[in-house]
Chain A
Amino acid sequence: MIRKLITLGAVAALLGGAAFWFLTVPQTIASTLPVGDAARGQTVFWAGGCGSCHAADKAKGDDKLLLGGGHRLETPFGTFVSPNISPDPEDGIGAWSDADFLNAMKAGVSPDGRHYYPAFPYASYARMTNQDVADLWAFLKTLPPVDGVAPAHELGFPFNVHRGIGLWKLAFLTDEPAVTIADASPEVLRGQYLVEGPGHCGECHTPRNAAGATDYSRWLAGGPAPEGTGRIPGLHNSEPGLAGWSATDIAYYLESGFTPDFDSVGGSMVSVQDNTSRLLAEDRAAIAAYLKALPTSAQ
C-alpha cells in the first residue's frame, strides 16, 4: 500500500514536472520584421520611454540616448536591474537579429531562449505593431554604443526560477486591448494604442495582483508604486483622478509637467514626462482623449 502510494506520488511529481516543463517552454513569435524607419522609430522611442529605465538614473537631454542600463527597480519580488540595450555588439544588443528584437519586445524571450521578467514591460509591448517594433529597432541601431554589462537581478526563490515566468505568461500575457471603448474615434484609438502599448502607462498606473500582473478590472485606477515608495495616481475621469482636468490640461501636463493648478510633475513621472514632451502634439492630444474616454466600467 505504502509502496503504491510512493509510486503514485512519484508518477504525479513526474507528470507535474513534465507539465510544468512543457507549459513553461519559452514561446517565440515566428514572424519577421518589416523594413524599419529610424526617423519614425524616434517617436516610438519617446513613446516607449526606453531611456527612463535603460539610460543612467535621472539622465537628461541626449544622455537619455545612452542605453547602458543599470537602473534598479526595487519591487516586492526583488530588485531588477535594467540591462545594456545600446548597439554595442558585445555588451549591448548590437549583434541581435530582427527576430531576436521582435521576440524580446513582444514575447518576452531572449535570443538564447529564456524568459525575461515582466519588469521589462513586454506585457504592454505585446500590443505594439510589428512596424513600430521595426522602426524602433532601426532607431536604436543609430544610437551610440555603450560599454559595460549591468549587474544581475537580485531575486530570491521562487522568483529566481526563470521557467516560472512561463506560467505567468500563460495567465497574463495578451495582445488584446486592456479596455473596450464604444464608438472610439481614430484619435481615441491612437491614444489607446500609445497608452496600452508602447507607453506602458498601465505598468505603474494600474494596481497589480498577487502575481505581479496588472489587474485589468482596475485598469489605470492607481495604487501603491510598484517600485520605490509612494502612490501612483489613478487616471480615471472621476475623483480622485482626472475628473477636474480637461483633455487640454492633460496634454499640457504631458508637454510641460504642470498640473492645472501649477503644481509640477514629481518622482519617477519626471522622466516619463520628459519623454512625452518629445512626442508630437497630436499624440499627446490622443493620449488625453483616450484617458477622458475611459469607460466607467474600468473605474
Chain B
Amino acid sequence: MKKSLILGVVMAMAAGGLAFAAAHGDAINARKMAMKEVGGAMGALSKMAKGEMAFDATVALASFQKMNDVSKVYGDYFPAGSETGADSEGKPTTAAPAIWTDMDGFKAKIAKFDTDTAAAIAAAPQSVEALGPLLGSVGGNCASCHETFRVKN
C-alpha cells in the first residue's frame, strides 16, 4: 500500500516534470514559429518594395496584420525555465539570457513592434511608394531587438 503510494507520487512527479519540459519545448516552438511567420510577412513586403513582386495592397495589409498579431502574444512565449532547451526538431533556442535579466527592456521592444505595425495597418499603404517608409520603420524592429535579445551558438 505504502509502496504503491510512493510509486504513485513518483509517477505523478515524473508526469509533472514531463509536462513542465513539454511546456517549455512548446514555448520554444511557439516563438520560433512566430518569428518564421514574421519573416514570411517581411519577405512578402520586401519583395514588393524591391519590385520582385507586384504591389498588392491586400497582401501588404495582411502582412502587417500578421506581424501585429505576433506582437500581441510574443511576450508570453518566454516563461521562466525556457531560457535553454530546443524546439521539437532539436534546434536549440537562440533566445539570449538578456531576455530574462532585462524582461522590461525586452517587453519594451515588443511594445515598439506592436506600435509600429499598428501604425502601418492604420496607414494601409496603397502604393509601393507609400509602403517603403512603413517597411523601414517596421523592419528596423527586427535588428533592434535581435541586437540584444538573440544569440546564435
Contact = CB atoms under 8 A, between A and B. Distances in A.
Interface of A: 58, 229-231, 233, 256-258, 261-268, 270-271, 273-274
Interface string B43-83: 10010000000000000000000000000000000000000
A267 B153 contact: no
B43 A261 contact: yes
Contacts of B43: 261-262
- Rank and list the top 8 A-B pairs by shortest CB-CB distance, nearest first: A266-B146, A264-B142, A270-B147, A262-B43, A262-B39, A230-B151, A262-B42, A266-B150
B2 interface: no
22 contacts: A229-B151, A229-B153, A230-B151, A230-B152, A231-B152, A256-B139, A257-B139, A258-B42, A258-B139, A262-B39, A262-B42, A262-B46, A264-B42, A264-B146, A265-B142, A265-B143, A265-B146, A266-B151, A267-B146, A267-B147, A270-B146, A274-B143
Contacts of A267: 146-147, 150-152
Contacts of A229: 151, 153
B40 interface: yes
B142 A257 contact: yes
B148 interface: yes
A262 B142 CA distance: 10
B143 A270 contact: yes
A264 B42 CA distance: 10
Given A258-B139, A266-B146, A274-B143, 16 more contacts: A58-B148, A230-B151, A256-B46, A257-B142, A257-B143, A258-B42, A258-B142, A261-B43, A262-B40, A262-B43, A265-B143, A265-B146, A266-B143, A266-B147, A267-B152, A273-B143
Contacts of B46: 256, 258, 262
Contacts of A233: 152
Interface residues of B, number: 17
A66 B46 CA distance: 32
A274 B39 CA distance: 20
Contacts of A261: 39, 43
B33 to A, nearest CB: 14
Given A256-B46, A258-B42, A266 B152 contact: yes
Nearest to A58: B147
Contacts of A262: 39-40, 42-43, 46
A273 B142 CA distance: 13
Contacts of B144: 270
Nearest to B42: A262
Contacts of B147: 58, 266-268, 270-271
Interface in B98-153: 139, 142-144, 146-148, 150-153
A50 B61 CA distance: 39
Most chain-A CB neighbours within 10 Å: which of B35, B46, B152? B152
Nearest to B39: A262
Contacts of A263: 35, 39
B67 to A, nearest CB: 12
Nearest to A232: B152
Contacts of B150: 266-267
A261 B43 CA distance: 7
Contacts of B139: 256-258, 264
B10 to A, nearest CB: 38
A261 B47 CA distance: 11
A256 B49 CA distance: 12
Contacts of A270: 143-144, 146-147
Contacts of B151: 229-230, 266-267
Contacts of B148: 58
B101 to A, nearest CB: 13
A265 B46 CA distance: 15
